[in-house]
Chains A and B, each alone.
Chain A
């Protein structure tokens, strides 16, 4: 606490970029008592538009997901 706003911004940016690069490498970042950020690979798939019946090939994708830890879950209960 008692930190300058610009310092906070710098630290926050560093945190974000760390998560970004690590998860970009498909690693996961764990923060105890809070949760885990992990990148998940979604495979390509064929989806059908129910309105038009058109079939689309959806390309593969990497998404970031967050898994809350048990501690956080209990806190929210």
Chain B
């Protein structure tokens, strides 16, 4: 990180890759530089395939002021060289952020809200009731009150820890009774996003349609907003239009609470029942066998449950397991309930690394070091993990992960430096 690679180091690296002697590599690099700068000196643009283009740009004469004396002076026109990296190279360097997309922001957000959003993630909005609900909805891509509705439901009846919403995945595959079956082929992240919105819609139907409050689930990761189909945004618009009066909002909101609680209770009951039917096999064991038999295609997807999409997440992971059913021996429907909400798995892929996982599970990419620590024996170099590697996501409590705690973040950062240093 932020290290300067000197010329001898570069020579060494090139020699190591090609297997030629350092002398050859040195002369080659010198020739290369000489050729490029000579061509530039002759007024030619130089383009190196897969690398980029060195372009000459004319800079006209301009006036300036000497900052020491204040005297005006003339800067003569000259040519400068501009380097534009090739698409291939630019993309390769940008891979850590490649999965982000530009997102349109709703007009109703003010500057302050934006600043708040960027500095801290929205936390708990239960207490603020209906007033909060409106602003939250406007934000669209942050927590919605559906979140808090389900949250309260969860607090009401189970042993889930209230702060880590995403830690609980109520998974049950006998969901047919509930009408929330969702069997989507989920291969890529885009699909995932679509599945989220679909799941949200399905949920919409199960709860009555007039209080969308509890159903307006969108992922916090704003990229997904693009991918979600028109349904959900339509929903959101609807809400905005007829949810303007505060009183109306309030009743809708508490109705949302109520229905959310009821649904959660129902799901929990069925899940517990099913869980006892199936025996005490822990969820992750089933999960891991599933992954071994399935060709790793659908593994990374359903497990990714963000802060704000818990209901959708439930349906999703449940869908995931539904798929998994086909791989279990006996062919009997697999009925599970997550007893251990803290142990999760994920799969490394071209667009999903430790950092993205860390962001998804802990809210900050810097905590990737703990995922690495947890999977040390599987991972050699954290910068070069073969796609398809299944990693364990440790519970946030195990390493004291807290994205709002400066010290925790700082500790992770130091650890990251250490790890990266040992893999130089």
Contacts and interface: CB of A to CB of B under 8 A. Distances in A.
Residues of A in contact with B, size category = 35 or more
Contact of B83 (A25, A26, A55, A65): A65
B92 A24 contact: yes
B4 A28 contact: yes
B37 A34 contact: yes
A18 B25 CA distance: 13
Interface size class on chain B is 35 or more
A42 to B, nearest CB: 9
Contacts of A60: 97, 100
* Majority SS at the chain A contact face: mixed
A76 B105 contact: no
Given A11-B20, A28-B4, A56 B100 contact: no
Contacts of A16: 48, 50-51, 89
Interface in B95-128: 95-97, 100-105, 107, 114, 118
Interface stretch (B5-13, B232-240, B250-258, B397-405): B5-13
Contact of B81 (A12, A29, A62, A68): A68
A61 B94 contact: yes
A30 B37 contact: no
Contacts of A29: 5, 10
B296 interface: no
B28 A59 contact: no
A64 B89 contact: yes
Interface of B: 1-7, 10, 13-14, 17-18, 20, 24-25, 28-29, 31-33, 36-37, 40-41, 48, 50-52, 54, 56, 78-83, 85, 89-90, 92-97, 100-105, 107, 114, 118, 222-223, 383, 420
